Amino acid sequence: MSLKALLFDLDGTLVDTDPVHLAVFAEILAPLGHHVDDAFFRKYISGGRNEEILPRFFPELDEDEIRRRGDAKEARFRELASQVAPVEGVYEVIAWARQQGLSVGLVTNAPRENVDFVLPVLKLEDAFDIQILGSEMEKGKPDPAPYKAALEAFAINADEAIVFEDSKTGIISAKGAGIFTYGLMTTHTETELVDAGADIAIRDYRDQHLWVSLEEKLK
């Protein structure tokens, strides 16, 4: 089967938003005595949905209050995220995909409000043929459902797509759907990404290993 589509996560994959999310969770969890540093963020937060993350720290809260606090957290994120920067080389890889006639999809656990906020900041609001949001599905990442939904939307098989992810949660989701996955070392180390199932770990989209691999997949 030939390559037909590139599928991208959002946070930490298209854009370096993780420092902003970390800062907001640090504000939220400081009253509980948690120091949210990079290691804490990677272990307990990275790639997850608010409805899964927040109950770990606030088990006494009901679903409605968890939802309210999650909405407040994302509103605070948007207050701080107006200057976020794209991951190096992301525009080049999307342009390359278009030149090759490939489809391009977004598959993220981020809420709709964040997607609609961040993509215009990056000037990528028209870059994606489909947008699959785990936050709007019964099951988000790490369940493979979001990536399976992307394959179904494009009417392609798993071996006709590749995924770009930065979190263990996202990698587990993509590999669970049977898709070849690049792990970006924006959040985790190469070892952590490979241990989670990534086929290749790359620094960013200008990593020579990526371009050699992409050219091979077109043959």
Is 38 a residue of the active site? no
Peptide bond into 142 cis (omega under 30): yes
Strands (E), 99-179: 103-108, 130-133, 161-165
- With contact defined as beta carbons under 8 Å apart, do 7 and 162 qualify? yes
Helix (H, G, I), strand (E, B) or coil at 81: coil
Task: Indicate which residue of 11, 16, 166, 207 is catalytic.
Answer: 11
Identify how many contiguous H helices and E strands the chain contains and give both numbers: 10, 6
| Strand order through the sheet with 5-8 | 130-133, 103-108, 5-8, 161-165, 180-184, 200-202
Those residues with Cβ within 8 angstroms of residue 127's Cβ, 6 or more apart along the chain or in another chain: 94, 104, 119
Catalytic (active site) residue 204: no
Contact between 82 and 17 under an 8 Å Cβ cutoff? The reply is no
Catalytic one of 9, 18, 166, 207:
9
**Is residue 122 within 8 Å of residue 86, measured between CB atoms?**
yes
Question: Catalytic site residues?
Answer: 9, 11
